[in-house]
Amino acid sequence: MYELVQVGEHSYYMDCPVKVGFYRTGENEVVLIDGGSDKDAAKKIRKILDAQGWTLKAIFNTHSHADHIGGNQYLQTQTGCQIYAPGIERDCTEHPLLEPTMLFGGFAMKDLRCKFLMAKESDAAPLTEAVLPEGLQILPLPGHCYDMVGFRTKDGVVFLADCLSSEETLEKYQIGFIYDVAAYLDTLETVKTLRASCFVPAHAAVTENIAPLAQVNIDKTKAVAETVRGLLTQPKTFEDLLADVFAAFDLTMNLTQRMLVGSSVKSYLSYLCDAGRIAYTFENNKMLWYAQS
């Protein structure tokens, strides 16, 4: 764990629960794909850099979830590296309070302003093709988060960020975090068609063939959507629906799960509503969701 693994002539990753990519841009220079989950992970990254004699030039963040940017501040302070983030992800990287605020739907109470949901702020510039080193390409991967991206290296390695989960993770947690279900499914269909010498997902095993796992994630996402719709044969408030979702998937609610699963269920409601498969109404000052026949 936390060892450096080489997967291409210029490409490496740190083997850990949230994989961090290393892309060598010169004899002694590298850029990172994501900055590690927290300060402890960042210190392990720094140890690798020192052991290899590498200078860190930049961090390219795939998206702004805390487990991918939590080490940014430490590494930027220690090395002076530039940080780049795509689209709205840049705003959340510079202002990480936006993450728990989005999940809660208002100012997040202290229990949500924790390192799991809110990283230390870091100074980030816009991620564009113009700032990339030679041989590194951006792959748009929206759905899991606002403007998430992955990267393809010139030696054929594709870093996939959080666009899919391992079968073990899906079995354990049942409902992965999804911001935009339609965009997520489109991304997975695209990922199925990709070819690479090696795929490096952040939360699944490295593989040469990503299509089977992408299909597993597609099937699971569609199954969750059908379950949510099936629970709306009678009109329900969101809170009643969420309780039923937790029961249907044998989940135990705590504050973090309430926020993450609750946000994802709302995304499923938007997806189903936009497709005309469910609708909403208001009765006695309550918003009720119900399945369309």
Strands (E) located in the chain? 3-6, 11-15, 20-24, 29-33, 55-60, 82-85, 125-126, 137-140, 149-152, 157-161, 198-201, 278-283, 286-291
Q: Does some domain include residue 235?
A: yes
Q: Does some domain include residue 33?
A: yes
Q: How confident is the chain (293 residues) per 10-residue block, as mean pLDDT?
A: 96 97 97 97 98 98 98 98 98 97 96 96 97 97 98 98 97 97 98 98 98 98 98 98 98 96 98 98 98 91
CA pair distance 55, 28, nearest whole angstrom: 6
Q: Pick left, alpha or beta for residue 47 (phi over 0 → left; psi -120 to 50 → alpha; otherwise beta).
A: alpha
Q: Are residues 258 and 158 in the same domain?
A: no
Our measurement of the distance from residue 104's CA atom to the centroid of its chain's CA atoms, rounded to an integer in Å, reads 18
Q: Does some domain include residue 196?
A: no
Residue 264 belongs to domain with CATH number: 1.10.10
Question: What per-residue confidence (pLDDT) applies to 293?
Answer: 81
Q: Are residues 156 and 274 in the same domain?
A: no
Q: Are residues 109 and 7 in the same domain?
A: yes
Q: Are residues 141 and 248 in the same domain?
A: no
Q: Does some domain include residue 127?
A: yes
Q: Are residues 136 and 247 in the same domain?
A: no
Domain count, the chain: 2
Q: Are residues 256 and 126 in the same domain?
A: no
Q: Are residues 235 and 90 in the same domain?
A: no
Question: First and final CA of the chain: distance in angstroms?
Answer: 51
CA pair distance 47, 57, nearest whole angstrom: 16
Q: Does some domain include residue 202?
A: no
Q: Does some domain include residue 212?
A: no
Q: Are residues 137 and 51 in the same domain?
A: yes
Residue numbers of the domain that contains 149: 3-162
Q: Are residues 128 and 256 in the same domain?
A: no
Residue 94 belongs to domain with CATH number: 3.60.15.10
Indicate the angle between helix axes 181-193 and 255-274, nearest 10 degrees.
80
Token digits of residue 63: 């998206």
Domain boundary, last residue among 146, 162, 178: 162
Give the predicted TM-score (pTM) of the model: 0.96
Q: Does some domain include residue 41?
A: yes
Q: Does some domain include residue 174?
A: no
